[in-house]
Amino acid sequence: MRRAVFPGSFDPITLGHYDIIERGLTLFDEIIIAIGINAEKKYMFPLEERTHFIKEAFKDEPKIKVMTYKGLTVDFCKKQQASFILRGLRNPADFEFEKAIAHTNRKMSEIETVFLLTSSGKSYISSSIVRDVIRHGGDVTGLVPDTVKILNK
């Protein structure tokens, strides 16, 4: 089975994430959307709500699992018997950052990182931009899946 882990904080999940996940489904038998827990980070949405957003967005997709984890992503991948890490790239800065992480992960384990470019119409979307729009009472239509919009109107 070709199993991939798509890690992130998903605070909140965006249509950019959704794009990568949907396209990743054509490459993998299963994708684990892995919500990382970082006690040092301040989140806009609690873990339970972020998990709900994602589970609802993919409720009709049997090839998707949603899980949480602490610690190194490669350790989580090993525990889940995932051979791949799926990552999205929006721009050259993402590539440089993600490349360093991918090289480190590869040195630590046999896990391969697979990069997909975010579709051009979604490459500008980031969770930090979405959070800023929400903080200022803006409309997040076209930035996040409906599961996020419904809970934040």
Q: Which residues are catalytic?
A: 17, 41, 90, 127
Q: 1, 3, 71: which is closest to 33 by C-alpha?
A: 3
Q: 70, 53, 83, 59: which is closest to 146 by C-alpha?
A: 53
d(CA 17, CA 74): 20
Contact 90, 8 (CB under 8 A): no
Taking the C-alpha atoms of 41, 5, 23 and 131 in order, what is their torsion angle to the nearest 10 degrees?
A: -10
